Structure 1
Amino acid sequence: MTVTSAPETYPETYSAGAYWGARKESPEDCARRTAGFLNLLAECDPFLSHWYTPARSRRDARKHPLMPPDVATLAELFRRGMNREPGGPAIEELGFRFSFDNGGATGDCATLRINGGMSSEAVPNHCVLNVPWRGPNADRLLTAAVLTKAVRAMVLSWEPDWALAGSSAYKMQYPEPDSAPFSLGWITYLSRRIGTVPPLPAPVRIEPVEDRGTLIILTPERFTVANPEHVALARRVRELLVQAGLMQ
């Protein structure tokens, strides 16, 4: 008799990310934007107010805090992260990479990954924040209020074309085609460069971000694929955005 095990289940994780097209910038430019972003992020929640330079161990990392942010230090870290051919010269059009975290334990850690200064259209520039998926910090951070502030901080710092915060499980189950200009999240930002957001059904909330673009918040409660009403709402909003010509 063959015994089959139950399918393995994974936690529904969440992240926030901002994405923008080709924009040639120097390590110093990226450092200034990062410094501003870290200061704004610290205002979102105390858990997001401490970050550390990458190191071999957490103990070593804590000896080199990145807060308060220093532009010269950040610029050097971006410079070290310049994309290169293995053993060869730098690939300037692919910009600079920099990843770091806030020193938390597995599952209760926030990480940041930034790739800026790219002038190539092959891969978008991006800033991605992964937030805890378990523990008291997750309970506090995974709210519409905190993640909306985090997305706003990304928009004000990086001036992206679009940004979102949401569930990894939703993105995996309902992927967008490569030709889509953006993906829909629990919280989605669209630059004015993409277009004008149409009226959307309750409980969706629409908020401007200065004169730069628009935030779409699907639901005030935590969005999850386990809730069929949340999924149905997301699919309906996507349909309305398609009808408005925003997802061609």
Structure 2
Amino acid sequence: METYFAAAYWGPRRETVENCAVRAVTFLTALGQISEFFKEWRLQGRSRAEALRKRAIDEQSVDTLVSLFAKGRNKKDIGGGVIDELGYRASMWNGGDDRTASSLTMGCGMYSTIVGLSNAVVLQLPQQFDVQSEDGLRNVMSAFALAWEPDWAIVSSQSVRNRQVEQLPFLDRALYLDSKVTPPDDLKGSTLGEVLGHGMLFVQPFAAG
């Protein structure tokens, strides 16, 4: 069965852990208003049963998100010192079953200029999330764009993403582009874009039948 995800990406941007936490709270609040699937989050465990025994995260608490991000910092193999330029990272999931499960990984505050590295927030969408709903896609992209201010963000199937390794960014179900990012060739001159935050949003119309 096809799987879908939503994600946002941006280049080097040095930010404090507190600022990343504020962005995360804004993002999680917006997600919770979109769907019941995104209203409650837990720390991941070695098994679903173990994870469900963990208390739900207080996604409205900046202090809670600061703690999660701080614990997710990358450390050196020798000496254990923090690699400051790689920023902060936090992961969680919603406790759902095979049809409703969603996981979320947030990476923020990375300012390394090494090619191939980027800040990224990736949301695995539940199987029951309606990726054919244009309103739903707009709401998800709005949550990403306004909270994280990325260079670009997408909603895509995993299979399409796997075919687009050399062609980023791209449009599958939805695409957000910051105003400073050059649109891919198949979008240039398109009138389908709509203003969102500091950029433009493109949503692929669903063709019924």
**CA deviation string 1:115-158 (max 9, x = no partner):** 1110112311011110122xxx33x4553321221111010000
Corresponding residue SS for 1:75: helix
Contact 1:18 1:126 in 2 (8 A): yes
- C-alpha spacing 1:221/1:150, structure 2 compared with 1 (3 Å): farther
Q: Does 1:120 align with 2:82?
A: no
Contact 1:206 1:215 in 2 (8 A): yes
Shift of 1:199: 3.5
Q: Does 1:70 align with 2:56?
A: no
**CA deviation string 1:140-196 (max 9, x = no partner):** 4553321221111010000000001011111223x242xx55233310011011147
Q: Does 1:163 align with 2:153?
A: yes
- C-alpha spacing 1:57/1:142, structure 2 compared with 1 (3 Å): farther
Q: Which residue of 2 aligns with 1:206?
A: 193
Return the alpha-carbon distance in structure 2 between the equivalents of residues 221 and 34 of structure 1.
34
Shift of 1:29: 1.2
Q: Which residue of 2 aligns with 1:230?
A: none
Corresponding residue SS for 2:193: strand
Contact 2:154 2:175 in 1 (8 A): yes
Instruction: Kindly tell me the number of residue pairs found equivalent between the two proteins.
Output: 202
Unpaired runs of 5+ in structure 1? 1-10, 228-248
- C-alpha spacing 1:101/1:141, structure 2 compared with 1 (3 Å): farther
Return the alpha-carbon distance in structure 2 between the equivalents of residues 169 and 76 of structure 1.
35
Q: Residue 36 of structure 1 aligns to which amino acid in structure 2?
A: T
After TM superposition, list the pairs within 5 Å mapping 1:1-248 onto structure 2.
11-59=1-49, 61-62=51-52, 63-87=54-78, 88-122=80-114, 123-133=117-127, 137-138=128-129, 140=130, 143-173=133-163, 175-177=164-166, 182-195=169-182, 198-200=188-190, 205-210=192-197, 212-221=198-207
Contact 1:93 1:118 in 2 (8 A): yes
Corresponding residue SS for 2:6: strand
Q: Residue 106 of structure 2 aligns to which amino acid in structure 1?
A: I
Corresponding residue SS for 1:43: helix
Q: Residue 69 of structure 2 aligns to which amino acid in structure 1?
A: F
Q: Residue 73 of structure 1 aligns to which amino acid in structure 2?
A: T
Q: Residue 201 of structure 2 aligns to which amino acid in structure 1?
A: L
Unpaired runs of 5+ in structure 2? none
**CA deviation string 1:32-90 (max 9, x = no partner):** 10000000111111211111133445455444212442110110110000011235211
Q: Which has the higher contact order (CA 8 A, sep 6+)?
A: 2
Q: Residue 195 of structure 2 aligns to which amino acid in structure 1?
A: P
Return the alpha-carbon distance in structure 2 between the equivalents of residues 13 and 85 of structure 1.
34
Corresponding residue SS for 1:118: coil
Contact 2:91 2:104 in 1 (8 A): yes
- C-alpha spacing 1:68/1:94, structure 2 compared with 1 (3 Å): closer
Return the alpha-carbon distance in structure 2 between the equivalents of residues 58 and 28 of structure 1.
30
TM-score of the two chains, using structure 2 as the length reference: 0.86
Contact 1:18 1:162 in 2 (8 A): yes
Q: Residue 124 of structure 1 aligns to which amino acid in structure 2?
A: S
